[in-house]
Amino acid sequence: MPKIPNSRIRTLRTWMPGISSSELVGVDEHMNQIKLIDLASNDYLDLARHPLLINAAKQTLETDGVGSGGSRFITGSRNIHQELETKLAEWLNRDIVLLYPSGFQANLAAVLALSDRHTPVICDRLIHHSLIIGVKASGAKLTRFRHNNLTELETLLRKSRKSNPEKKPLVITESLFSMEGTTAPIKGITKLCIKYDAKLLIDEAHAFGIMGSKGRGESFGLKEPISIISGTFGKAFGSGGAFLATDKIRGKNLIQNCGAFRYTTALAPPLCASALAALNLMEMNPHWGSDLQDKSISLRDSLAQIGWQRPLGTGPIISIILGSDELAMNYQKRLEDQGLLTVAIRPPTVPEGKSRLRLVIKRNTPAEALERLIQVFKNK
């Protein structure tokens, strides 16, 4: 096992849901119970304990059981899988949606479906680990462009087409970046992919439910050259499981040839039911995403007003780059002493010298908690 410096050792902490969807209950280093406001989880819309999601899961638990008992091609397919896939495809205006047990797995499947060892793969430098593992598994040659840098992406695409005119490159990006809080210039990336005839894979894990028109992601409304979009139910959807959305031809190919779809137990039916309930809520409340963005932008403004560099982006992930691991841990502790739970993110999750606090604003985060947070940041 590689040696990990003390400042990078992670400890597993256990949390219980508190009285409201904003509160988590745990213990401090002296084993005293503490109640903290959750400014860390990805349950952006506070749906994980929403009564409609719980009831949907309970009902399906009664009718379909806990697990599906098999892969989709053996005995695992239920009506609820079909219903969720159809509803998601309609919501996103894509031909086919396929469910996967996790976003990690869906990303592996997407990269493997779009590349082989001859494919030039060009990724944003900060894409999620699962996508990188997918590229490694495909044996493809990976090059990376600086985060959100269209000029560098164009240079790499031009070079790739010149040196390997026979092989379509694959470009991979996230839409809302999980550790930066930044949004990718999806339209610009799309234009470049059209210009250089490249395929495009977009991971919208953090964006669905929040970003884009009515929370349908940054790629909503864009067709070619977007090849596959991946999403997860583990974040704004409040449960677990994931999906890929794509066109007819690629969808059929995934069904027939994708090992990560065929050789895995189908998503647990109660999770499908809660994802469907979350989707219904998102459709009934199309303003939720933009309201949350407004709330997050206003916290960015407050941080800038008290002398901090304005965190990039407009979504609910607010990344405050502090530099050293120690400083990031120190701010985590200071906020925790004020009853606020945030998590210091350190290398290797983020680049060296870029340790940070990743703050998450949720739909029901109380205004009073954000005022408390600003007080801590006022005392640099």
Ligand X SMILES: Cc1ncc(COP(=O)(O)O)c(C=O)c1O
Round to whole Å and give the CA distance between 265 and 101: 8
Judge residue 297's burial from the number of C-beta atoms within 10 Å of its C-beta, 0-12 exposed, 13-18 middle, 19 or more buried.
middle
Judge residue 323's burial from the number of C-beta atoms within 10 Å of its C-beta, 0-12 exposed, 13-18 middle, 19 or more buried.
exposed
Which member of 72, 94, 128, 356 binds ligand X (CB under 6 A)? Answer: 128
Number of residues in the chain: 380
* DSSP line for 212-227: SGGGS-TTTT--TTEE
What percent of the chain is helix, strand and coil (3-state, nearest 5)? 40, 20, 40
Fill in the per-residue mask, 291 to 320: x = in contact with ligand X (CB under 6 A), - = not in contact.
Answer: ------------------------------
Round to whole Å and give the CA distance between 79 and 128: 32
SS3 label, residue 67: coil
Could you report how far apart the first and last alpha carbons of the chain are, in Å?
Answer: 37
Which member of 182, 232, 342, 355 binds ligand X (CB under 6 A)? Answer: 232
Determine, following the binding rule CB under 6 A, whether residue 64 of this chain makes contact with ligand X.
Answer: no
Which member of 24, 242, 266, 278 binds ligand X (CB under 6 A)? Answer: 242
Stretch that binds ligand X, among 181-189, 199-207, 312-320, 363-371 (CB under 6 A): 199-207
- As given in the structure block, the two tokens for residue 335 are 């906020």
Determine, following the binding rule CB under 6 A, whether residue 60 of this chain makes contact with ligand X.
Answer: no
Which member of 23, 46, 64, 203 binds ligand X (CB under 6 A)? Answer: 203
Q: Residue 320 forms beta bridges with which residues?
A: 357
Determine, following the binding rule CB under 6 A, whether residue 120 of this chain makes contact with ligand X.
Answer: no
Which of 199, 194, 281, 184 lies closest to 239, judged by CA?
281
Stretch that binds ligand X, among 45-53, 75-83, 203-211, 356-364 (CB under 6 A): 203-211
Which member of 22, 102, 182, 239 binds ligand X (CB under 6 A)? Answer: 102
Stretch that binds ligand X, among 48-56, 202-210, 243-251, 299-307 (CB under 6 A): 202-210
Which member of 103, 169, 270, 311 binds ligand X (CB under 6 A)? Answer: 103
Determine, following the binding rule CB under 6 A, whether residue 246 of this chain makes contact with ligand X.
Answer: no
In the complex, the smallest distance separating the C-beta of residue 128 from ligand X, rounded to whole angstroms, is 4
Which member of 205, 229, 254, 258 binds ligand X (CB under 6 A)? Answer: 205
Stretch that binds ligand X, among 96-104, 152-160, 243-251, 267-275 (CB under 6 A): 96-104
Round to whole Å and give the CA distance between 4 and 24: 29
What pairing do the DSSP bridges indicate for beta strands 199-203 and 170-174? parallel
Give backbone dihedrals phi and psi of 246, rounded to 5 degrees, phi first. Answer: -160, -170
Fill in the per-residue mask, 147 to 176: x = in contact with ligand X (CB under 6 A), - = not in contact.
Answer: ---------------------------x--
Closer to ligand X by Cβ: residue 161 or 315 = 315
Determine, following the binding rule CB under 6 A, whether residue 44 of this chain makes contact with ligand X.
Answer: no
Query: Residues in the site for ligand X, rule: CB under 6 A?
Result: 102-104, 107, 128, 130, 174, 178, 203, 205-206, 232, 234, 242
